[in-house]
Chains A and B, each alone.
Chain A
Amino acid sequence: MSAGDVGRGTRHTAHELARYERLFAARTRGMRSSAMREMMALTERPEVISLAGGLPDTSTFPPELYARLMAHVAADSTARALQYGPTEGMAAAMECIVQVMAEEGTVVGTEEMIVTTGGQQVIDLVCKALIDPGDAIVAEAPTYPGAVPTFGAYQADVVQIDVDVEGMPIDELEATLDRLLAEGRRPKFLYTIPNFQNPGGVTMSLERRRRLVQIARARELLVLEDNPYGLLRYEGTPLPTLYSLDAADSGRSGKSDFVIYLGTFSKILSPGVRLGWAVAPRPVLEKLNLGKQGADLCSSPVTQLFVAAYFHEHDWRGYLQELRELYRRRRDTMLEALAEHFGEEARWTAPQGGLFIWATLPEYIDTTNLLAQCTDVAFVPGRAAYMDTEGRQGASSMRLNFAGLPEQEIREGIGRIGAAAERQMRLFGALTGAPRRARPAPRPPESTLPTATPDGQPARELEPTAEAGAHTPAPAEVGADKESLADVVELRRRRAGER
């Protein structure tokens, strides 16, 4: 049988598939499914409370508004909506982007902007434009789990730098850049999520932002600033974007020289519209544009016009404010639930915004295995945020999304994870002869620290310190609602791989 027969209903055998193996590009080796992802697939059942997604809550968007806006698009621009659009994006959508960025104090024009199919496409296009196999990218550790497979597909060598409460430590960054330089290597770009980092929940401090931009200028290092959550700040003072800091120094009338800014409508409006954008220095932008032509010609005019109609007809700032209030309550609920159910040996970040909390359990607990025990609740195992998904890094951590679910389900979900973790702690205690008290004793109020101080400084460490059993401070205001939660339903888990 020739290879051409396959796919027309004829059977394919193992040998024929082995034949394809020789056809696959070398980069597909970097595109692997993993045990973890197989397990994540199992969590996509309706009875599972999933704290795993990166989802905003789209159920708060009024259906009548959606209908009205689409009717508006139909009445005014059916022909344009159904036609191809310009690769760089439609002017109407770009004007909305200008407004969104201005809201964070970043003034841009439309001439260094490209509208993309979600923010994810920017990551892909930047890699496509800059990365040859083996090229170095510097990223935070942990980093956005969705960027990991993209970097892998372009065969990048990703050097990850551990973040602390103030984001990426700049001294570490300089040391890393020096080390790479000594090896004759210059990273193609630095990837950072400065606000409410995914998955860490931490925010890069103003001082570090300034230093990062100085270093970028001094070393001519491109920075990919991924800022999906900047407008989802629940407390503290907004900080300037890296783009605006660099633009202020560039002398190019508000245009940055070294920062590629990535934005998206996914978290402030809808991920379903699949619209993001990049603002980048002109030469970079041109390459992104060429890359996008090859990828999808243009992003959907239907949704670009929808967004334009939304910004034109609706109080988008008001909707954003509603989201902020909703998500802040949910974040507080999750922080309370964590304090109640996660035990003394766990710690977690208290983000001032965004969608995620990063929780770390004692190092002998592997959250990929913990997920196997949590049959009716899901989270993202920490390993997903590291390039080496089979390694130890991040193995005891997990990413928890607090934005996508109602408060009751957040409490329930955290309770279930806590119960599973407690079983593992008890087991470890039995094995090592050091029985552990998994549930925290009630804490005296004076021992608590605020989750974040009003001036915008988060109060918790991201990574656990070495001292075992150190105490995680509880959030400032622990809610009165302490109903007991259902235990995890045991479901036996069996073989994981194909045989």
Chain B
Amino acid sequence: MRVAVLEGGRSLERGVSLRSGAHVREALRRAGHEALAIDAGPELVAQLHEQAPDIAFVALHGGEGEDGTVQGVLELLGIPYTGAGPSACMRATDKALAKHLLGEAGIPTPVFRAFAQDSLEGLGLAAGLPELERAPGYPLVVKPAHGGSALGVKFAASAAELPSALVAAFSYDDRVVVERYVKGRDLAVSVLDLEASEAIALPIVEAIPREQDFYAYESRYEIGMTTFVCPAELPEEITLRAQELALATYRLLGCHGVARIDLLLEEESAEPTVLEANVVPGLTETSLLPQAAEAAGIDFDALVGRILQSAFTR
């Protein structure tokens, strides 16, 4: 098959996406496919027209590649593509929407409030911010609604620290989620569609930062800065519970093909709680999804083959 691997793009995760894309293309070639790299920019549609691929493999992280924009373009052009469709992308990447949906479905997620920058002036919301003291209550984590990593994610120990945390988060998005800070262990559960869209949860990866910085950006994904343990050393009932929550989240948001659900095992309650869903998980050498697949006996080539299949089972 002729596979266009969509990579790069204009998001802050461009570099990671290029690495995912290159890694995926190697696997596709080993499987006998013709793999073309297409950088998702102003020439995207022209290149897709020119190359006329049978299928598009979406290896874009963040931004337009993950929020349904690129998926909408592919639908318009009638090109089959891997992974989630536009609506699931929108639900999963909009953290505020995702958390509302989780809450309504009874899936545990940290207490939060969400609001838009426009409301601060347009609706006089600034006067309402002291309410955050009551719920979710400090300490708080302020996140851009569409942010996934540490850039723009700020910790506010008290109301005095809130304004600058908000200014930082609003640098990345015009909406933010203000979430109760939960201390605990970082768990990632990848979910993969097997035949006939039957989803399974892969073994859990725990990310243990070596340095104790709060949300240290680099430590998360640099080799040597974080220790990844897979399968995570957890009591069986917690493993099962986390996997069950991940599958429930995957179905609730309407994911397809593959997703990675990030959870936190709360220290106090020893209960897993869902933080967010990623519909285009990283596929680099050090990414969590390939580690989880490997632990389940699915090597990288087989994993890429599975994800490729998802284009035809929509």
- A interface residues (Cβ-Cβ under 8 A, vs B): 9, 11-15, 17-18, 20-21, 24, 28-29, 32-35, 38-39, 41-42, 364-366, 368-370, 372-373, 390, 424, 426-428, 430-433, 491-499
Contact = CB atoms under 8 A, between A and B. Distances in A.
Given A13-B300, A366-B168, A431-B126, A497 B11 contact: no
A13 B294 CA distance: 8
B167 interface: yes
Interface in B111-139: 117, 120-121, 126, 129
Nearest to B12: A496
B282 interface: yes
A13 B290 contact: yes
Given A35-B149, A494-B62, A499-B260, 18 more contacts: A14-B286, A35-B150, A372-B171, A372-B172, A390-B213, A390-B217, A427-B167, A428-B163, A431-B163, A431-B167, A493-B151, A493-B152, A494-B12, A494-B144, A496-B148, A498-B149, A498-B287, A499-B148
Interface stretch (B43-51, B79-87, B219-227): B219-227
A426 B118 CA distance: 12
B11 A495 contact: yes
A17 to B, nearest CB: 5
A390 B221 CA distance: 16
14 contacts: A13-B299, A21-B224, A35-B218, A39-B151, A41-B15, A364-B163, A427-B170, A495-B13, A495-B61, A496-B13, A496-B147, A498-B19, A498-B282, A499-B282
Given A11-B27, A430-B120, A17 B223 contact: yes
A33 B285 contact: no
A28 B224 contact: yes
Nearest to A41: B15
B132 to A, nearest CB: 12
- Among A11, A41, A491, A494, residue most surrounded by chain B Cβ atoms (within 10 Å): A494
Contacts of B225: 29, 32
Nearest to A28: B224
Given A427-B167, A495-B61, A32 B222 contact: yes
- Range for the number of chain B residues in contact with chain A: 35 or more
A148 to B, nearest CB: 14
A492 B93 CA distance: 13
Contacts of A18: 223, 228
Contacts of A35: 149-151, 217-218
Contacts of A497: 13, 16, 148-151, 217, 220-221
A155 B290 CA distance: 33
Given A21-B224, A42-B14, A427-B120, A494 B26 contact: no
Contacts of B291: 13-15
A82 B16 CA distance: 39
B30 interface: yes
- Among A32, A424, A426, A499, residue most surrounded by chain B Cβ atoms (within 10 Å): A499
B249 interface: no
A498 B61 contact: yes
A431 B172 contact: no
B63 interface: yes
Contacts of A495: 11-13, 61-63, 66, 146-149, 151
Given A35-B150, A430-B126, A499-B281, A494 B11 contact: yes
Contacts of A364: 163-164, 167
Contact of A372 (B129, B151, B164, B217): B151
Nearest to B291: A14
B189 interface: no
B301 interface: yes
A32 B220 CA distance: 12
Contacts of A491: 10
Contacts of B166: 427, 431
Given A18-B228, A497-B220, A427 B117 contact: yes
A292 B117 CA distance: 54
A41 B14 contact: yes
Contacts of B163: 364, 428, 431-432
Nearest to B281: A499
A494 B223 contact: no
A421 to B, nearest CB: 11
B67 interface: yes
Nearest to A490: B174
B167 A11 contact: no
Listed from nearest, the 9 A-B pairs whose CB atoms lie closest are A497-B149, A495-B148, A496-B151, A494-B62, A369-B171, A495-B62, A431-B163, A498-B16, A498-B221
Given A495-B61, A499-B282, A433 B217 contact: no
B286 A17 contact: yes
B162 interface: yes
B243 interface: no
Contact of B12 (A24, A372, A430, A432): A372
A499 B278 contact: yes
A496 B300 contact: no
A312 B216 CA distance: 53
A426 B121 CA distance: 9
Nearest to A426: B121
A246 to B, nearest CB: 40
A498 B147 CA distance: 12
A119 B187 CA distance: 46
A431 B225 CA distance: 36
A132 to B, nearest CB: 21
Contacts of B220: 497-498
A34 B164 CA distance: 21
B288 interface: yes
A33 B62 contact: no
Contacts of A430: 120-121, 126
Contacts of A33: 218, 222
Interface in B145-165: 146-152, 162-164
A369 B168 contact: yes
A32 B126 contact: no
B173 interface: yes
Contact of A38 (B12, B216, B281): B12
Nearest to A431: B163
A426 B126 CA distance: 12
B284 interface: yes
A431 B129 contact: yes
A178 to B, nearest CB: 31
A499 B288 contact: yes
Contacts of B15: 38, 41
Contact of A424 (B13, B171, B300): B171
Contacts of A42: 10, 12, 14
Interface in B171-227: 171-173, 213, 216-218, 220-225
A265 to B, nearest CB: 32
Contacts of B282: 498-499
Contacts of B26: 9, 11
Contacts of B63: 492-495
- Among A15, A17, A372, residue most surrounded by chain B Cβ atoms (within 10 Å): A372
